[in-house]
Amino acid sequence: MSFLEELQRRRTFGIISHPDAGKTTLTEKLLLFGGAINEAGAVKNNKIKKGATSDFMEIERQRGISVATSVLAFNYKDKKINILDTPGHKDFAEDTFRTLTAVDSVIVVIDVAKGVEEQTEKLVSVCRMRKIPIIVFINKLDREGKDAFDLLDEVEQKLGLRVTPLSFPIGMGYDFKGIYNIWEKKLNIFDGDIKQTISEGIEFTDINNPELDTIVGEKHANDLREELEMVEGIYPKFNKQEYLKGDLQPVFFGSALNNFGVKELLDCFIEIAPEPQPKMADIRLVDSKETKMTGFVFKIHANMDPKHRDRLAFVKIVSGTFKRNTNYLHVKLNKKMKFSSPNAFFAEKKEIVDQSFPGDIVGLHDTGNFRIGDTLTEGEILNFKGIPSFSPEHFRYINNADPMKSKQLAKGIDQLMDEGVAQLFILNLNGRKVIGTVGALQFEVIQYRLEHEYGAKCTYENLNMHKVCWVEPTDEKNTEFAEFKRVKQRYLAKDKKGQLVFLADSSFTIDMTQNKYPSVKLHFTSEFK
């Protein structure tokens, strides 16, 4: 197969949802279609169970599983599909944001009864900002839930999407009869059996055909006719270009648990979802069709074996062919590196590969060279953009609890920050270290891992802060900036890259500061230029 054919058959995407909407179940069903796994239950447990926040074994187990399921690849029809796992737990939201920089499209799963939930809103807003093409899957139709039109309204309003249903449910809950597949003009009847065989659906181009009454009953048939007429009247017609530009979002209905409506989703997905997309770097746009290899690190995972501190850096290939044992430039370190055992991912396995193509993810063994956001090229000096840090919401001072192990502690903190577990800020005034996280769970993870992987002990001290803002002085003379630095010196720190940040104790402080020093711009993300 030629390079171009390899590229064009790849579809790299993420599934996002609020926890419990059915992301894991849907992922698993998609893998079954690809023949990548044989039994249900294989991807299950790929999440921290509810209420297990203090269970360290659970955290460790989760880490183990999430290495294996970070990338799930399978072939379906003529396409190679890469699903990038995004943790549902809100304390790991930052990890999800970073993974979204490596996907070319997403599927959003929504629970029919719960509708649009908080985590979905946050994640979709990131996708919208980046104009990522989105397909919506409304799940759990075998249960009583909200009316389909109300839900579509909610999706439009809360998520700011412009939707067009490509399937429509017939009944719901106990009375769920199936779906009409608008995309393929087929009727799919639900028989309520969890292990039901996947049917191709019945060709049904004319819904006025009286046979519909015989199949689903007169009431449902009439309702469906009416509803489809409304769909046609209210919603825009599906247009692939608009979907690809992030301006129109097709919606499917189904039940992942019952493997119902999933095949329709997948069949449409492979037809419409984008192939590997170009990506913006600091100096230019890199097209996926370019033959020179470029890629970037979007995730780093520590090895599970505490004795060997090697890590796996996940690189998304943006352009060209990544080859084993070939020299590449680590741009930030200005260092040539080659990799003798790059891993590719297939279902739940990883294996050594000789070459990978745009859209693919390779796992590179790393002894501490990589940080999230690093770029690899064949020699060109460019850095991919788009892996910002966001302001953490929880802050604590971190102290050394074992003076004999201060080196280990420093190294441990350094490496855990490279992995993106949390962010480190060093106060300008006294050099104290502050850890900032998205959720409280990370503090426990850090303490546990420092002890078990680095032999270091730490304690925390509360620090009541609201957010950090990245500081950008914009006045020419810098007088206002100098004044800002003098007045706020107790609250200024450096992030891991040496960028200046301002620790603010309330949103009021941020507003006040911004008003007082208008030329000193305060940003909530590290990448503002």
Could you list the residues that contact ligand G4P (CB under 6 A)? 17, 19-25, 44, 47, 88, 139-140, 142-143, 255-258
d(CA 265, CA 253): 9
DSSP H helical ranges for 175-259: 211-216, 218-234, 240-244
As a dihedral over the C-alpha atoms of residue 228, residue 231, residue 237, residue 240, rounded to 10 degrees, the angle is -90
User: Could you tell me the smallest distance in angstroms from the CB atom of residue 15 to ligand G4P?
Assistant: 8
Q: Are 275 and 264 in contact (CB under 8 A)?
A: no
d(CA 469, CA 522): 5
Task: Enter the tokens of residue 66.
Answer: 């999430």
Q: Are 330 and 299 in contact (CB under 8 A)?
A: no
Task: Enter the tokens of residue 13.
Answer: 């995407």
User: Could you tell me the smallest distance in angstroms from the CB atom of residue 254 to ligand G4P?
Assistant: 7
User: Could you tell me the smallest distance in angstroms from the CB atom of residue 72 to ligand G4P?
Assistant: 13
Smaller CB separation from ligand G4P, 15 or 468: 15
Smaller CB separation from ligand G4P, 255 or 377: 255
User: Could you tell me the smallest distance in angstroms from the CB atom of residue 13 to ligand G4P?
Assistant: 16
Q: Residue 239, Cβ neighbours under 10 Å: how many?
A: 13
Task: Enter the tokens of residue 140.
Answer: 């759990």
User: Could you tell me the smallest distance in angstroms from the CB atom of residue 256 to ligand G4P?
Assistant: 4
Smaller CB separation from ligand G4P, 23 or 146: 23
Phi, psi of 128 (to 5 degrees): -65, -40
User: Could you tell me the smallest distance in angstroms from the CB atom of residue 27 to ligand G4P?
Assistant: 8
| Interhelix angle 118-129/148-159, nearest 10 degrees | 60
The SS3 of residue 314 is: strand
Task: Enter the tokens of residue 475.
Answer: 């006045």
Smaller CB separation from ligand G4P, 47 or 449: 47
d(CA 345, CA 215): 43
- C-alpha triplet 199, 203, 208: angle, nearest 5°: 130
Smaller CB separation from ligand G4P, 22 or 295: 22
Q: Which residues contact 69 (CB under 8 A, 6 or more apart)?
A: 43, 46, 85, 348
Smaller CB separation from ligand G4P, 22 or 363: 22
Strands 167-170 and 178-181, bridge-based pairing: antiparallel
Smaller CB separation from ligand G4P, 190 or 339: 190
User: Could you tell me the smallest distance in angstroms from the CB atom of residue 255 to ligand G4P?
Assistant: 3
Smaller CB separation from ligand G4P, 262 or 416: 262
User: Could you tell me the smallest distance in angstroms from the CB atom of residue 252 to ligand G4P?
Assistant: 12
User: Could you tell me the smallest distance in angstroms from the CB atom of residue 89 to ligand G4P?
Assistant: 9
Q: Which residues contact 17 (CB under 8 A, 6 or more apart)?
A: 23, 88, 108, 109, 110, 119, 120
Smaller CB separation from ligand G4P, 87 or 420: 87
